[in-house]
Structure 1
């Protein structure tokens, strides 16, 4: 990730004074800056009357290889203890540092991701300064139930005290209801890929020529089923390999199962490559999002065998490229994006019989291209503009509910 840039607040390079500050300061607190969030954050930063600052726990995480250009976003990385835990990174923010950063910026509203320590500290600040808190919650009921009792207790505590809660879709909305959040306080901001980058790459390619060239380079067969993402247990890699092995030979004979990604299960994928005939299973290390577009366009089908993703952005990306999807019913995006038989297929990867059947249906379907076009149509409303507007609405409603239609009186700053 390139060095983070923060715009000057006094004068630009020509020495001209910048305009007077906007009327409302909004702080967005999150773990890291993923590339797919940048367009939505830029749209939020351009909201008339807003000054946006994105506060990060870290520039990156151990399992992320993204090259992110934040552009002119106002960013601040707040020093945090980050611990690696199996397939994720646990961030432990310093209350003193986070409160000091908020005190310097003095936001009129805070948008904090997830129900963890960062949001608890944010709530304390909001209670002290009488400003609204919006929680951007990407959770599923399965993920919440798998959390420890203390985490569930904290989540319920914060959910009830947030002014509004932003969710990605139907599954996360149900999760918030179970935590006691009323429907009138839940607003949707759909998860979206970087539509600009994907459109740029697709418009600049001779798709048919690029497809044939890449398939020849990788040694793929006539049809390609893509698995794009980190090779972790939660991604369902192992049950997928079991289901693939159970497919009839006459079905697999024309297909390549193409993995693009890195992770602890890379060796399991390598073993599968070695155990099957040439071209049946192919593995490519992780690539940047812009490069990944070419792999979607090379493929005929996306397989998303997740065992617990809170959403599943690879599904968005594949559908934007006109691919139908075999999607896990355990993925947070399944209900919102996939209509079985219309733009993809749904099955539980842990039900090997059912998932194998879904794979067979997809791989032998004579109308996959039609389903792919329907998938592309399904995804059209899922844009960074829709994400940004959902967050704007949540902030506005939270301020109304907080009785703060005007910026609050700015009291003394918290000391660093």
Structure 2
């Protein structure tokens, strides 16, 4: 029958090229069942820019737009900052109308729902009769909001529901979020928030050969364990909680670990002052490090910690697990429910509970735990990968387009 074997023409609208998504988009574009076009509403990440979280100029050292068809839309109000109303992309409707070589798109996938551009894209698709898939990061307890704000949000979602044909939850908490606002019967296809597991596993393994060089560079005794924090130094990331737990650990136990703080941002000076005042010699502030450098630090470390508040997911946790590290996260980190099993591959502790964080560190730093917990983490992550993303996306596309699509084998 005519058209049965053709690729489904999928448009994807997203704010800007995102380092975590680049490999996934290449895999989708290479799939024989999908013809992908990505519309970027900004090219911010393709040039050097000052990241407000890191507080330094950032130029990503991984390819962000290779291996798939993409268009950077013209813009109004374009600045070196992204917000719900900046920039305003032009040409979304025209791009969806034109399709691919004059052939209309079969579906639109939108990342996020709170910007002018994402709303514009969904309204345009509705006007053109194109079904919409929506993916976002939110979960119900990730912010404290007033009753009035929640009421307004519910009204917004009542309208949003009419523009969307299916949602793509990134994990359990996000799935509950969509059920709360759209109802239990609304079509949902879990498209897990994943990273390039193989990349971080192989790069961390390769880094082992040069581990001694990094230990020498940062004056680290190879016999001592290493605690790693790698994120923006913002107040909500709570590197201060980790620092206090580390200092307690040094005083109250015989453990003698290092604490490596990789990242930069607004709280760095305050953290350095506290570290200096403590008189403890094992703390290293290593500044911002690019994506390709992280596997070296994962290999060097014994445990990774993300003590954040209001962390929608925390993809660096996936990266650390892929590299074979145990992980400790606060219960306000979105990935905690899906990726962390207490005592198996890490620990989840109550946000702000310094004693609980200290105890989790002590348990994880016990001899032999890195290997066993790290291996368990990789087992968990093996079912949380780009392959599952592609399976979910294809199932969602088949549901909303009613078109046949080639399934993934194996």
Normalised by the length of structure 1, the TM-score is 0.82
User: 1:142 aligned to 2:161?
Assistant: no
Structure 2 Cα separation of the partners of residues 348 and 156 of structure 1: 33
Query: SS at 2:329's partner residue?
Result: strand
Query: SS at 1:310's partner residue?
Result: coil
User: 1:217 aligned to 2:221?
Assistant: no
Distance 1:341 1:260, change over 3 A: same
User: 1:256 aligned to 2:253?
Assistant: no
Q: Which moved more, 1:94-103 or 1:324-333?
A: 94-103
**Structure 2 residue aligned with 1:58:** 42
User: 1:30 aligned to 2:14?
Assistant: yes
Answer yes or no: is the 8 Å Cα contact 2:341–2:347 preserved in 1. Answer: yes
What aligned pairs does 1:93-132 form with structure 2 within 5 A after superposition?
94=88, 96-105=90-99, 106-116=104-114, 117-132=116-131
Structure 1 Cα separation of the partners of residues 279 and 392 of structure 2: 48
Deviation per CA, 1:26-83: give whole Å up to 9, x if none: 1111122222211211121123243211111222354254234122321112225467
Structure 2 Cα separation of the partners of residues 354 and 274 of structure 1: 24
**Structure 2 residue aligned with 1:345:** 347
Structure 2 Cα separation of the partners of residues 368 and 379 of structure 1: 16
- Structure 2: 5+ residue stretches without partners: 52-57, 405-410
Deviation per CA, 1:323-348: give whole Å up to 9, x if none: 11111111110010001011111102
Query: SS at 1:134's partner residue?
Result: strand
- 2:297 equivalent among 295, 298, 313: 295
Deviation, 1:392, is: 2.0
- 2:70 equivalent among 64, 67, 75: 75
Structure 1 Cα separation of the partners of residues 257 and 170 of structure 2: 34
Distance 1:345 1:194, change over 3 A: same
Structure 2 Cα separation of the partners of residues 252 and 231 of structure 1: 28
Query: SS at 2:32's partner residue?
Result: coil
What aligned pairs does 1:13-412 form with structure 2 within 5 A after superposition?
23-60=7-44, 62-63=50-51, 65-69=59-63, 70-78=65-73, 79=75, 81=77, 89-92=83-86, 94=88, 96-105=90-99, 106-116=104-114, 117-143=116-142, 146=145, 148-149=149-150, 150-151=152-153, 153-159=155-161, 161-183=163-185, 185-205=187-207, 207=208, 209-221=209-221, 222-251=224-253, 254-277=256-279, 279-364=281-366, 367-400=369-402, 405=403
CA-atom RMSD in angstroms: 2.8
Deviation per CA, 1:121-172: give whole Å up to 9, x if none: 1221122111100001211212365494445543453245411100111111
**Structure 2 residue aligned with 1:13:** none
Distance 1:24 1:82, change over 3 A: same
Structure 2 Cα separation of the partners of residues 391 and 279 of structure 1: 49
Query: SS at 1:192's partner residue?
Result: coil
Structure 2 Cα separation of the partners of residues 80 and 274 of structure 1: 46
Q: Which moved more, 1:212-221 or 1:131-140?
A: 212-221
Deviation, 1:232, is: 1.5
Distance 1:145 1:81, change over 3 A: farther
Query: SS at 2:122's partner residue?
Result: helix
Deviation, 1:252, is: 7.4
Distance 1:199 1:347, change over 3 A: closer
Distance 1:229 1:100, change over 3 A: same
Normalised by the length of structure 2, the TM-score is 0.83
Deviation, 1:182, is: 2.6
4+ runs of 1 displaced by more than 6 Å? none
Deviation, 1:112, is: 0.3
Distance 1:239 1:396, change over 3 A: same
Deviation, 1:379, is: 1.1
